[in-house]
Structure 1
Amino acid sequence: MPNKGSMVGLEIFFKFSRAMFLVAIFLMGVSKLDAQTTFEVDYVPPETSVNDTLYLTGSFNNWNPSDKNYAFKRQADGTYKLSNKQFLNSWISYKITRGSWETVEVQKDGQPLKVRKLSFNQIGPQTETLQVAGWTDKLNTAAEKKWLTIEVVDIPLNTPPNTSLYICGNFNGWVPGDERYKLKPVGNGNYEIVIPVYDERLEYKFTRGNWSTVEGNSYGRPRPNRIIELSEVNPNQVVEDTISYWEDQSYGIFNPYTLLLVLTALQGFFLIFIINSNQNNNKWANQALSVLIFVISFTLIARVVIYDRVIYTNYPKLSLLTDLVFFLYGPTLLIYIKRLLHHAKKAIWDYWPHYIPFLLQCIIYVSFFFKPTHTFIEQNLFQSMDSPPYSVYEVIVVLALVFNVWYWFRIRGIIRNYFKNIEHTYSTDQNIRYLNAILIILGICLVLWTVIILVDVYGTFTEQPVNTLTNFLIDGIWIVFSVVVFFLGYFAIKQPQIFRMAEQEEEEAPEAEKPQMESEELEELKQALHKIMTEDQVYLNPELSLPDLADRMNSNVHTLSRTINSGFNKNFRDFVNHYRIEDFIERAQDEKYKNQTFLAIALAVGFNSKSSFNRSFKKVTNKSPREYFNDLEQASS
C-alpha cells in the first residue's frame, strides 16, 4: 500500500496534471470558437461585367473555382455577398474567381495575389469585407514575366495511381490546386510544366491538389520551399526535379521518432506511480521528481500531437505547450537535487521566485493565443529572426537557453560539492552517480539548443535555407531529452534504493565558529565510539551514516564529526571502513568462512560494492586483498 508520503506526492502530481489539462482545453478553445462567416466584396475592377458571377474558392472546397455553393450574390448597390458560411477548420485560405482559374483575382499590376487567409477566433458570426484589385484575364499582359520549364523525373513509389500533380509557388500566389499548373505526363513516368516567373527568385512546391498532399521529407516532415535563382539558370534549360516523399503517404504521426516520444511519455507516467509507491521513500525529493517527470512526459505528448499536420493546422497553438519546459525544467530539477541531496523540506511553492520567468512567459503567450490562427502558423517557432513578429519568440528562446545554462551550472556545482563531501557523511558509496549522467544528457541538449540558435542566425543573415537542418536538430533535442526518463526508469528498476535515500547531515558550521572540544571530552567520545563500533558492530550496516551513528550515541552530527576528524584523524567513511577491513581480515582467516569469496565476506562486513571494498582495503593496508593474504601465507610458511 502506498504510504502517506506517496499519497501526498500523487496528490501534487494530479493537481499539476489537472492544471495542464485545463491549459490544453483553453488553447484548443481559443483556436476555434465559431466559423460562421459572411463575405462581402465592396469593390471590383470597373471592367467587371454585371453578368459575371463571383466565386469563393479555397482549402474548404478543394480549390474548385466555380463551386455553386460558394457563389456570391450581386446586391442592388453593386456589392457582392456570400452569407453565413460554416467552415469545419479553424482557418481557411482562399481566393476570388469569376468561374475559372483564368479569371482569378490578381494584384492591380497583374502580379499574382498571394492566397488570402482567414481565422475564426471570435465568438459569434463575423463579416469579412474584401476588395478585388484586378482579374487575370483583364490584366495578364500588364505584368512582365519569363517562362521556365520544370520536369519531374521521379516520384515516390507510393504515389496513388492516376493522381494529378500540381505545382504552386510565388508565381500563382501559392494555390495548391490551380488547374492552370497541373503537370502533364510526358512519358517514361516523367511530368512537365511550363510556369511564369515574375521575380528573380522562384519559390515553389509540388502537391497532389491541396496542402494535405504536399511533398515532404522523410517521416512526413515538411520540406523547405524549392528555390531557383533565375540568374543561375539558362532560359532554355529544363529544370529537373525529384519528389522523394508525400507528407500524407509517409509515416505521419506514427513513425519511429514519435513512437519513441510516446513510449517515453508513457514510461514517465508509469514511473511517477512507481516512485510514489515505494515504502519509506524520500517523499520530499520524489514529489519534486514526480513534477519533473510529468513536465517532461507532458511536453513529449504535446510534441507528438503537433507532429500531425492535420492537428497542427487546426490547433497550431497546442505547440505552445511544448514550451512549458523552457522555464519549468531548470527550477524543478534544482528543487529535486536539493531535496535529494540535502533533504530541503520547503514546499515547491516556497521556491516561487525561481518560477517568475515561467509566469512572465505565460503572460506573454496569452497574446499569442489570440492571434489569428493563420498568422500564428506563419509566425511559427524557430523561423527567421528578421521578421518582427518572430522577435518576441526568439528573445524568449535565447533567454530560456541562458536561463537553463545557468541552472545547469548551479546544479552541477551542488552535485560536485555533494560528492566532494560525501565521505564525511556516508560510510559507503551512494547510488546517485546517475545524476552526473543526467547532467551530461542535459548538457548535450543545451549544446544542440545553442547550435539551433546559431544556425537560425546564420540563415537570417545569409538568406540560406536552414529549415531542414533546424528541424533535424530540434528533433535531436527531443530524442536526447527523452533519454532522461528512460534513464530514471532504468535506475528505478535496477536500483530502487535511490528513491529511498537516508537523510544527510545538515551543513556544518565553518571551523572558526565551532567551539573547541576539551581533551577530556574528546577522549571520552573516542572511547564511546570505539566501544559502539567493536561491541555493537554498527559498521555492519551498509547504509550507516553519520546522522545514524549520532542518534545511536545520543549525540549530534557536528560533535561526532569533530571527534572522528580530530580524535582519529579520519573522515567518517575511512573511520567506519577501518573497522570493516579489520573484521574482514579476521573473517577471511577464520575456517568457517573458508568457502566464501572475498566479495561475500566484504558484503557481510558492511561494504556495498566490490569497488568500494577494494579501494578501502588498499587505503588501510597499502595492498590489494590478494596481495595482503599472499604475503601472510609466505610469512607464516
Structure 2
Amino acid sequence: MSSRKVYGRFCEFGGSLKFFLIVILYLNIGVLFAQTSFVIDYVPENTKTTDFLYLSGSFNNWNPEDPNYRFTRNFDGTYELRDKLFKGSWISFKITRGSWDTVEVEKEGTPLTVRKHSFNLTTEEKIVIQVAGWADTLSLRDKQKKVTIVLTEVPRNTPPNSSFYVCGNFNGWVPGDSRYKMKQLVSGIYQVEVPIYSEQLEYKFTRGNWLTVEGKSYGRPIPNRILSNKEIAMNIPVKNSITYWEDQSYGIFNPYTLILILTALQGFFLIFIINSNSNNNKWANQALSVLIFIISITLIARVVIYDRVIYTDYPKLSLLTDFVFFLYGPVFLIYIERLLQHSKKSFLNYWTHFMPFFLQLVIYISFSFNPTHTFIEQNLFQSLESPPYAVYEIIVLIALVFNIYYWFRIKGNINKYFKNIEINYSTDQNIKYLNVIMMVLGVCLVIWTVIVLADVYSSFSDDPINYTTNLLIDIVWVVFSVMVYLLGYFAIKQPEIFRMSVVEIEDSKPEVNRAQIDTDELNKQKQALHKKMTQEQIYLNPDLSLPELALKMDTSVHALSKTINTGYSKNFRDFVNHYRIQDFIQRAQDEKYKNQTYLAIALAVGFNSKSSFNRSFKKVTDKSPRKYFDDLRES
C-alpha cells in the first residue's frame, strides 16, 4: 500500500488524536519557570527589627537560613523578597528567622502546616503573607507530651552518610526540619523525640526532602504512619523500619510499568499494521484503531504518574487515565457493529453514547481550575469529605455500571452474530477472538467491582485496606493491557481477521403467518437438494453459505432454509457438515488416503479447522474420530 493511502487511513481517526492532545494541554497547562515576589505585611509584635526573615521550602532543600531567600525589611515594617524564579508548577514553603527553632507557627503556638502556592500565570505574581507567631517565643513545643520514634532498619541501597528526619503533623510536614533529625545510638539504630499536638500522631521518614521520602518498591507513596492516642499513652519508644526510599526504588521503570509501556508501544505499532493492510473492513479497523489508541494513551498516562517529579509538576495527567471509563464501551460497541453488521455510521451518529464522557470531561476541567497543590492533596488524602474525591467516587461507581451495561450489550451482539452465522454458513467465522476479549473484559469488570466494594468498605470503616485496593488497581490495569497483546497476537497469527469480506446475515427470526410446506413438495425439494450435495459435492467448498446454495438450487434463501429445517431437523451448518462427515468416513477407510492424517482429510472435505471438524464429528457420530474408527475395527 502506498504511503499516501496509509496516511489517509491515519487521518480518518486523527480527529481523536487531536482531541486528546487538546485535552492534555488544557489539563496540564503549567509554568516551568515562574517569577514571584513575596511580601510579609504582618509579623508578631515581639519580632525584633534586627531579625532576618528567610523563605525556606522545596526549592532550596528546606534550608532555614538561605541567604538567597532572605527578605528585605522596608521602612513601613513590611518584608519583601522580589523577583525569585521557581522551577515547577507549585512550591511549598515556610517563613523562619534563621533556624527551625524560630520557624513560624500558629497564633496559639501549634505547628503551621507548610504553605503552598501554585503558579497559574506566566506573568509575575505577588504572594502576601502574615506570620501569626514564632516557635521560640511561644515555646509551646517544650510543654507538649513527647514520644520517642526509633528507626531500626533502613533499605540496603540507602546512600552512605545519609541523615534521617521525621516529619508529620507535629511540625507542619517539613521534611528537612533539623529539630527532628534522628540521632544515631548504635550502628543502624536511630531515634528522635517528637511532640504531640493532636489525638493521633501522623508521620513519615525522609532523608531531608520529599524526593527522598520513604515509599513503595515501585516508587509510589505509602500512607502516613499513624500512632493512635492509645499507643501514645503507653509511653514507650515506637520502633519503625523502612523498606524502600522513593528515589532509590525502581521508579517509573519497573516490571509493572514496563508491561504497560510495552503494551502501549505495541498498540501504536498495531494501529500502523491494521491501517497499512489492504482489507475489506476499513470502517471496522478505523474504530479498532481509535480503540487501541485510547487504550495506549491511557496506559502511557498511567505510567507517567508513577514518576514523582512528573506527577508533582503535572498531577492533572492522572485524570487522563479516567477518560477510558466512558470511552471504551461506546468505541468497542462501534467496532463490533462495524465488524459484524458492517455498519458505516460515523462516530457522530453515536453521540448519545458519548454524553457521559463529555459530562465527565466538564467535571474534570472544573477540577483543573484548582491550584496544583490543592489538586494533589485532594487526591493524596482520599476522603469523602473532599468534594472532588466524593465526586470521583460517584463517577467510578457510575462508570462501573456503564461498562457492565456495554459488556452485556456487546456480548449480546456477538452471540446473535454467531447464532446467525451458524444458521447461514457451513464453517466457523474466524472471529472467535472476540470471545477471548470479552472474557478478559469480564475479568476486569469483576476486579473493578471488588475494588469499588473494598473502597466503599474502607470509606466507612476504621480498618483501612488501601494496600489491597491499590494492588487490585494495579492488577486490573495489567489485565486490561492484555487486550492489546491479544489483538497483536491475532494480527500476526491470523491477519485475515482484519481483512474479512462482507458477510450478509439473514434474519433468524421465525417466520409467521407463512403457509406450511406441502409434504410432497418437501420430499421433492429434499431429493433435489440431496442430488445437488452428492453429485456436485458442493459441501467441499469450505466457504459454502446458505445464500450461495439457494442460488445453485434456484430458490430463495427462506425456502431453502425451511426445507433444511423441516425436512432434516437441522440448521444449515449441521446439514452441510453431515455430508462432510460421511465423505470423511469413506475417505478415511479408503486405501488411497491411508497416508493422510485425519486433519488433512477433514480439510479436504470442506472443514476449515480441526476444532470445527472434531465438534461436528462428535455431533454426528457421538464419538471422537479415533474412538469411532477403533470401534469400527473391533467390530
Specify the TM-score bucket, using the shorter chain as the normaliser: over 0.9
Partners of 1:583 and 1:433 lie apart in 2 by: 27
Letter aligned with residue 58 of structure 1: G
The residue number in structure 2 matching 1:370 is 369
Partner deviation per Cα, 1:385-405 (whole Å, 9 max, x = no partner): 232232222211111111111
Shift of 1:372: 0.5
SS at match of 1:356: helix
The residue number in structure 1 matching 2:94 is 95
The residue number in structure 1 matching 2:435 is 436
Partners of 2:499 and 2:6 lie apart in 1 by: 12
Shift of 1:256: 0.5
CA distance 1:626–1:193, change in 2 (3 Å): closer
Mapped contact 2:32–2:87 kept (Cα < 8 A): no
CA distance 1:45–1:577, change in 2 (3 Å): same
The residue number in structure 1 matching 2:404 is 405
The residue number in structure 1 matching 2:53 is 54
The residue number in structure 1 matching 2:149 is 150
Letter aligned with residue 603 of structure 1: L
Q: 1:170-185 to 2 correspondence within 5 Å?
A: 170-185=169-184
Shift of 1:207: 0.5
Q: CA RMSD in A?
A: 2.7
CA distance 1:579–1:381, change in 2 (3 Å): farther
Partners of 1:448 and 1:461 lie apart in 2 by: 20
The residue number in structure 2 matching 1:571 is 571
Mapped contact 2:420–2:508 kept (Cα < 8 A): no
Shift of 1:563: 3.8
The residue number in structure 1 matching 2:325 is 326
Mapped contact 1:330–1:404 kept (Cα < 8 A): yes
Partners of 2:343 and 2:556 lie apart in 1 by: 19
Partners of 1:518 and 1:52 lie apart in 2 by: 108
Higher relative contact order (CA 8 A, sep 6+): 1
SS at match of 1:542: coil
Shift of 1:6: 7.0
Segment of structure 1 superposing worse, 389-398 or 350-359: 389-398
Q: 1:86-485 to 2 correspondence within 5 Å?
A: 86-141=85-140, 144-234=143-233, 236-380=235-379, 383-485=382-484
SS at match of 2:161: coil
Partners of 1:23 and 1:592 lie apart in 2 by: 68
Partner deviation per Cα, 1:595-618 (whole Å, 9 max, x = no partner): 212221111111123332233234
Which residues of structure 1 form unaligned runs of 5+? none
Shift of 1:250: 0.7
CA distance 1:624–1:220, change in 2 (3 Å): closer
Segment of structure 1 superposing worse, 579-588 or 594-603: 579-588
Partner deviation per Cα, 1:403-451 (whole Å, 9 max, x = no partner): 1111112222223333344320221233333322222222222222222
Q: How many residues align?
A: 634
Shift of 1:5: 9.2
Partner deviation per Cα, 1:538-566 (whole Å, 9 max, x = no partner): 32232333344456667664444334323
CA distance 1:133–1:549, change in 2 (3 Å): farther
SS at match of 2:384: coil
CA distance 1:436–1:192, change in 2 (3 Å): same
Partner deviation per Cα, 1:247-268 (whole Å, 9 max, x = no partner): 0001101110111111111111
Partners of 2:311 and 2:490 lie apart in 1 by: 35
Shift of 1:154: 0.8
Letter aligned with residue 256 of structure 2: Y
CA distance 1:152–1:527, change in 2 (3 Å): same
Partners of 2:555 and 2:279 lie apart in 1 by: 24
Partners of 2:267 and 2:513 lie apart in 1 by: 46
CA distance 1:33–1:212, change in 2 (3 Å): closer
CA distance 1:536–1:128, change in 2 (3 Å): farther
Give the alignment's TM-score, normalised by structure 2.
Answer: 0.93
CA distance 1:154–1:628, change in 2 (3 Å): closer
Give the alignment's TM-score, normalised by structure 1.
Answer: 0.93
Mapped contact 1:33–1:120 kept (Cα < 8 A): no
Partners of 1:630 and 1:100 lie apart in 2 by: 93
SS at match of 1:218: coil
Partners of 2:68 and 2:192 lie apart in 1 by: 31
Partner deviation per Cα, 1:344-399 (whole Å, 9 max, x = no partner): 33223221211111111111111122210001101117922232232222211111
SS at match of 1:31: coil
Segment of structure 1 superposing worse, 31-40 or 44-53: 31-40
CA distance 1:555–1:76, change in 2 (3 Å): farther
The residue number in structure 1 matching 2:562 is 562
Shift of 1:567: 4.3
Segment of structure 1 superposing worse, 626-635 or 558-567: 626-635
Letter aligned with residue 580 of structure 2: R
CA distance 1:341–1:115, change in 2 (3 Å): same
Shift of 1:36: 1.6
Segment of structure 1 superposing worse, 551-560 or 570-579: 551-560
The residue number in structure 1 matching 2:609 is 609
Letter aligned with residue 85 of structure 2: Q
Mapped contact 2:421–2:505 kept (Cα < 8 A): no
Letter aligned with residue 89 of structure 1: G
Partners of 1:469 and 1:535 lie apart in 2 by: 67
SS at match of 2:87: coil
